[in-house]
Chain A
């Protein structure tokens, strides 16, 4: 397939393909980070993760309309505000859901699956009632839709680079929160042994609520960022949920490092295979390999010892 091309052309294509892989990695990681916190640290199977992401996307849509109408001068930079709004709105909804529903189910992890699935249906129908069944178009500032021309042939999409930087920033922030802050210590303590953590004076209820809200907030930011590459509709969240769970489960549920490793390997495999095979075959092979590895290593790539 490469006979008719010069060396420069081939190098350029492979460079761009490398970037595509990295961008896909960032997207997978961004999708999965919120879930990794909720599923990994709290053991809650949050089927409504995709709907939290779409809430972030809708907040972005509302912010863009708001800026277009009232602050057209600041439109170029509305996206940053939108992400901040998206974080707080979804985190707030997350905290409310935790208080009203999830906290009653901590001892029944499988029931959280059903409950959050129901929640996802409720949210979908709510979006449909408010925003209509059709997808909404989020207008993006022009600078986000262009591409960097590195050489004559190599072009890198700006929004891809934007997602990469955002993912890096969020991943660092989470690592700092989890491993350097007092709150992170409390979260990890609750994960490892809830009753003991409670006995030494940690307010486990508060920790749970904040953890869940943080996970949802990150989902909201991810959803906001994905308006650049995907669609915003009531059921668009469903497009992400399978990949998200795949990344988290493959990485080893309780390990953030595992999530990163798994996002990297799945995205690279998929992106490379997509280039040489067709899209559907690439997906089939990726899934087969993941299933194969999980059969040999059911706990995922990385594991954390947790008292059960």
Chain B
């Protein structure tokens, strides 16, 4: 067997295990006497749960500009669901998914999420990628009391009772990264660069506050429209300002243009003069950028495909077996993979598919089988997780050079950083 998550998912302490056994015995007795009562017992709010099937939704863009990024998340969620089904499902029920396409269009996301919650009555939704799409579906999830597992690292400043955030919020990614570059590379001057929308701007705001708190200097802060492809002027400006660190949060197609032009302009990242630190380039993006163009850059994230732990090796093997050998796995893909597992753990802890009970059960749930190592749900619905620094190599992978000793506490509303 490739992967045996059941074993790892069993709650660690014996007391809980004992309770589960009791519950299973109780469930079996009910099952034999009246199956209908069984389904009704774990589902009191009319979700699409029958005696042997539970329906969930997958809501990502598979068409439009965001398809580039969201494809990996869809693959990860499907893999997790298949593995859960292979190991016996959730509370004895097989998971069936209904996939909807958000088509990179925020109103479409809202419409499709309403369809999933109201018409299909799914028990959980795994989906959304950009903050804009999450903000578009948020009122609908809150109105119809659904549960969304959201995979992307994002700017924070949000905490909904109807969302579990499986990616990192901004401070988890940023603070550890800057502390590392200051300590290890003796960085004093920073140049902040980003695409012009909420995530890079909020993140750079946190970065700037943190840099200034450390008594260091920001020598430039620049934003370029999404899809911008000409970075020669800003590269000249960087040369003029001579920062120790280029802190880059460029996204999408702009990324490719930025790193290619940086290299062509004679800034060799492997020389680390300046050092480039990014929080927006995963292995997925490097596919388009080309390993030879970004070699030597550092990224601060919670997951890299090259992580050496046992969980991750099994995960990568299973992922490649399912989706092809050439595939790469980035931070968000791994976070998306956690979604179905965290939901399963919450349902089993609650002994029910009811959204309110899942919500109550979620804080404190831990996942020892996570490819990134170990995660735990904080009471603010974000995950405790480690932050790592990876150095990009020529093959399009990151070599992990540092990881935080402890789990970073998620802090979506950081005091003193807003």
Contacts and interface: CB of A to CB of B under 8 A. Distances in A.
B264 A158 contact: yes
A136 B233 contact: no
A13 B239 CA distance: 8
Nearest to A158: B264
Contact of A16 (B63, B236, B260, B287): B236
A27 B261 CA distance: 13
A147 B253 contact: no
Contacts of A155: 265-266
B79 interface: no
Contact of A157 (B62, B223, B265, B292): B265
Interface in A228-273: 228-236, 238-240, 270-271
A37 interface: no
Contact of A236 (B223, B225, B253, B292): B253
A67 to B, nearest CB: 16
> Interface residue tally of chain B, by bracket?
35 or more
B263 interface: yes
Given A147-B264, A230-B260, A279 B222 contact: yes
Interface stretch (A17-25, A183-191, A209-217): A17-25
Binding site of B, secondary structure by majority: helix, strand, loop or mixed?
Answer: helix
A193 interface: no
A280 B193 CA distance: 12
A17 B233 contact: yes
A138 interface: yes
Nearest to A28: B230
B26 to A, nearest CB: 47
Interface in B245-292: 253, 255-257, 260-261, 263-266, 284, 286-292
Contacts of B3: none
Contacts of B229: 226, 229-231, 239-240
B253 A125 contact: no
A149 interface: yes
Contact of B290 (A138, A149, A159): A138
A133 B261 contact: no
Contacts of B196: 279-280
Contact of B223 (A136, A137, A279): A279
B288 A160 contact: no
Given A155-B265, A229-B261, A135 B287 contact: yes
Contact of B225 (A229, A235, A283): A283
Interface in A3-41: 5, 9, 13, 16-17, 19-20, 23-24, 27
Nearest to B64: A235
A150 to B, nearest CB: 11
B136 interface: no
A283 B263 CA distance: 24
B240 interface: yes
Contact of A280 (B67, B224, B288): B224
A139 B228 contact: no
A159 B291 CA distance: 18
Interface string B194-237: 00100000000000000000000000011111011110111111
Interface string B381-418: 00000000000000010000000000000000000000
A128 B68 CA distance: 9
A146 B268 CA distance: 10
Nearest to B61: A133
Of B68, B255, B263, the most chain A CB neighbours within 10 A belong to B68
A133 B67 contact: yes
A229 B240 contact: no
B248 to A, nearest CB: 13
Given A125-B63, A230-B253, A231-B253, A139 B264 contact: no
Nearest to B252: A231
Interface string A122-148: 000100100011111111100001110
8 cross-chain pairs, A with B, having the tightest CB-CB distances, nearest first: A135-B288, A231-B256, A279-B224, A20-B232, A157-B264, A274-B233, A133-B67, A155-B266
Given A137-B286, A158-B264, 6 more contacts: A20-B236, A228-B260, A229-B230, A275-B237, A278-B221, A282-B233
22 contacts: A13-B239, A16-B236, A20-B236, A27-B230, A134-B71, A135-B68, A136-B287, A158-B264, A160-B264, A228-B264, A229-B257, A230-B256, A231-B229, A231-B289, A234-B68, A235-B253, A239-B229, A271-B232, A275-B233, A275-B237, A278-B223, A279-B223
Interface of B: 62-65, 67-68, 71, 196, 221-225, 227-230, 232-237, 239-240, 253, 255-257, 260-261, 263-266, 284, 286-293, 396
